[in-house]
Structure 1
Amino acid sequence: MADETLYEHAGGTEGLHRLEETFYARVLADPLLQPLFGAGRASHVEHLTWFTAESFGGPDRFSETLGFAHLIDVHRHLQITEEQRRRFVELYMAALDEAALPDDKPFRDAVRSHVEFGSHVAMQNSRAATDDELHPLRQVPRWTWDADPAGR
């Protein structure tokens, strides 16, 4: 697995699109998270797919098309709570099964680490009153089997 990227292991863009589509449907139906997403946007599944693909070692379409500043902007002022953050992680991990992504422990651990990290960044950015309070991350993080981009 060490030579294979998380992107490849997940089934590439097709597998990740299936995951994000499943996850997004769950979020829009969840009473705790739906208020953060409103009625939904047709482009959101594609944007989530691009972001996850890039994070997992696939094409850098998210950075080329939208850029990380877009991600900061969409989370600003949402006031994400810890309860919502935990529910986001729970629904994401459950969507892996429904979307039939690999269920091996190394992959699931890497995905959980990625979603935990990202949800903490999103929560911090959603509560930042000033730019100085934003998380310092300014580019799509590159996730590997062994560690998050902060080396933890």
Structure 2
Amino acid sequence: MTEQTGSLYEHAGGDEGLHRVEDIFYTKVLADPVLKELFPRRRPHHVEHLTWFTAESLGGPDRFTRELGFRHLIDAHRDLEITEEQRARFAELYEEALDEAGLPDDGPFREAFRSHIEFGTRVAQQNSRARTEEELHPLREVPRWRWPARE
């Protein structure tokens, strides 16, 4: 197997590719009956903020950390009480958006992206149910994803 070079961010098409994904994804969640409680209306900068977060987590610029900070993400999810059905649907729509946005569909890239989505939805779900700071997930910075390890 050939070794992957460059970041996942670059492989995804940088900000342009990720913005396409986030725009498609956000449109989907706003219309989805399972997620309408979590996304009752379009927010002006949501796609931009999602793009910043995903870009940073895939090895791109650290705009999310510099402009908003990780606490913004924690606070955005507090008290949402995300159900397992909602978490799973969020992940499903995200994968659909990757396809619709034309992002690469090679195995290593998609494996890394699925791992990113799965981890992120679990952290958000835990934080959405936390009543105290101690119940929050311990993550306090944007996680960084890399290419999957190959033997």
Q: 1:142 aligns with which of 127, 141, 144?
A: 144
Q: 2:45 aligns with which of 18, 35, 43?
A: 43
Q: CA deviation at 1:18?
A: 0.3
Q: CA deviation at 1:25?
A: 0.3
CA RMSD in angstroms, aligned pairs only = 0.9
SS class of match (1:16): helix
Corresponding position: 1:15 with 2:17? yes
Q: 1:64 aligns with which of 57, 66, 90?
A: 66
Separation in structure 1 between the aligned mates of residue 28 and residue 109 of structure 2, nearest angstrom: 21
**Structure 1: gaps of 5 or more residues:** 148-152
Q: CA deviation at 1:122?
A: 0.0
| 1:8-47 Cα shifts (integer Å, max 9, x gaps) | 0000000000000000000000011121012120100000
Q: CA deviation at 1:2?
A: 2.7
* Alignment TM-score, normalising by the size of structure 1: 0.95
Q: 1:87 aligns with which of 86, 89, 104?
A: 89
Could you list the structure 1 runs, at least 4 aligned residues long, displaced by more than 2 angstroms after superposition: none
Percent identity reads 69
Separation in structure 1 between the aligned mates of residue 54 and residue 16 of structure 2, nearest angstrom: 12
Q: CA deviation at 1:3?
A: 2.2
State the partner residue of 1:4. Answer: 6
* Alignment TM-score, normalising by the size of structure 2: 0.95
Separation in structure 2 between the aligned mates of residue 101 and residue 42 of structure 1, nearest angstrom: 24
**Structure 2: gaps of 5 or more residues:** none
State the partner residue of 2:108. Answer: 106
State the partner residue of 2:79. Answer: 77
